[in-house]
Amino acid sequence: MAVQTQPSDAVQEHGKQHQEQLHVGVLALQGAFEEHANLLRSLGAKVTEVRLPGDFAGLDAIVLPGGESTAMALIGERWGVFPQLREWVATGRPVWGTCAGMILLSNEALMQKEGGQALVGGLDVEICRNYFGSQISSFEQPIDTTLLGLTKEECAGTDVEKPYPAVFIRAPAILSVAGEGVSILAKVRALPCSKARLALEASLNAPAASPERSAKRQRLEPYLTPSEELPEVIVAAKKDNILVTAFHPELTADKRWHAYFLKMVREAQTKT
């Protein structure tokens, strides 16, 4: 006669984790998608590289990586991925954009290439592409992540008490938030690079006086007016199921932003 035994705690826990495994898609048209995939897998997620419309099947969330936003937009439109991404965002499903991905998820972007570029949209913010400068102006800056509310256990051992080492490479910045419900998660103080400054000045000097133009001038002038204190720009924000970061969390061993996104995804599932 076979002896029936209860599963051990370890087996029960493994089964629980397997049932709760999240399936995250990473847009893999261009950019640092492999690095995102590796960090997500290290936190227990299943990852699919998204290149075609059929790759969206079964996903719980999507990450738009850093890279070249114009190239991603051109390929994404041509391969039919961007229309599906817009539908994904419009229906309130979890999405995270880093650097170029943050640009793509914005409703308005300054310093676009000639003729503009396709945006996925969804976050009612005004973004300046390459606010901090070119590739040679890349830098790392510690930022406070207290607002994420994470524990060391949730981040696979990452010391969440230490400042986060944010890596900025040709990074954008959020200059203003237009819509309601946008939570600001991190800011830094920095002047716009010379090209960004010229773009901001051109935006302010455009003709056609209107209440909207006056409001825009009021928003953008602090980034151009000399003062004792550097202007503050937003480098991480969240609204509902949209998360954006101007820096590259995939280029560090620190897992707290990936853990935060997965926590967002789980919370979204409990609400459905």
Structure confidence at residue 91 (pLDDT): 94
Tell me the domain boundaries of the chain.
19-192+233-266
Long-range Cβ contact pairs of 41-48 (< 8 A, separation 24 or more)? 42/156, 42/255, 43/156, 43/255, 43/258, 43/259, 43/262, 44/17, 45/21, 45/262, 46/21, 46/22, 47/23, 48/23, 48/24
> Per the CATH hierarchy, to which homologous superfamily does domain 19-192+233-266 belong?
Class I glutamine amidotransferase (GATase) domain (3.40.50.880)
Structure confidence at residue 240 (pLDDT): 93
Sign of torsion over alpha carbons 96, 102, 104, 106: positive
pTM equals: 0.87
128, 192 contact by CB (below 8 A)? yes
87 is a catalytic site residue: no
Q: What is the mean pLDDT of each run of 10 residues along the chain (272 residues)?
A: 39 43 94 93 96 96 91 89 93 95 89 67 90 86 94 89 94 88 93 89 72 76 83 94 96 95 95 77
Q: Provide DSSP, 97-142.
A: EETHHHHHTEEEEESPPTT-------EEEEEETTTT-SGGG-EEEE
Q: Looking up tokens 């170029």, which residue turns up?
A: 100
248 is a catalytic site residue: yes
Q: Could you say which of 126, 128, 154, 248 is catalytic?
A: 248
Q: Could you say which of 35, 99, 128, 154 is catalytic?
A: 99
Q: Any residues with CB less than 8 A from the CB of 5 and at least 6 apart, and which?
A: none
Structure confidence at residue 16 (pLDDT): 41
